[in-house]
Amino acid sequence: MEENQREEQLDHIDDDEYLMKCVVDPTKKTFYLYSNEGDTKTVACDTTEQFMNVLELVRATCPEERLVYSDPIASGKNDF
């Protein structure tokens, strides 16, 4: 691959939005997703089964260094 093509591919990757951090709050059955562009998405699960299914997906796809679990004692605070 030529150097110019490689640089173009890297420039394209820099333009994409991607996940910076995923915070799991098991007490609220909620996931907080933070992007590199500052966007935040919240996924609130209605049931324990739904929460466990989403957690399985997150663990399979989210890099471990970007996955954080909230402190159950501090639940109610969103100082992530």
Dump pLDDT digits (tens) for 10-60. 555 567 889 999 999 999 999 999 999 999 999 999 999 999 999 999 999
Location of structure tokens 């089964």: 49
Residue 18 to residue 61: CA distance in whole angstroms = 12
Give the pLDDT confidence score for residue 30 in this predicted structure.
97
pTM of the entire predicted model: 0.71
Whether the CB-CB separation of 20 and 36 falls below 8 Å is answered with yes
- Interatomic CA distance for residues 39 and 16, integer angstroms: 13
DSSP H or E segment with residue 21: strand 19-25
**CA R_g for the chain:** 16
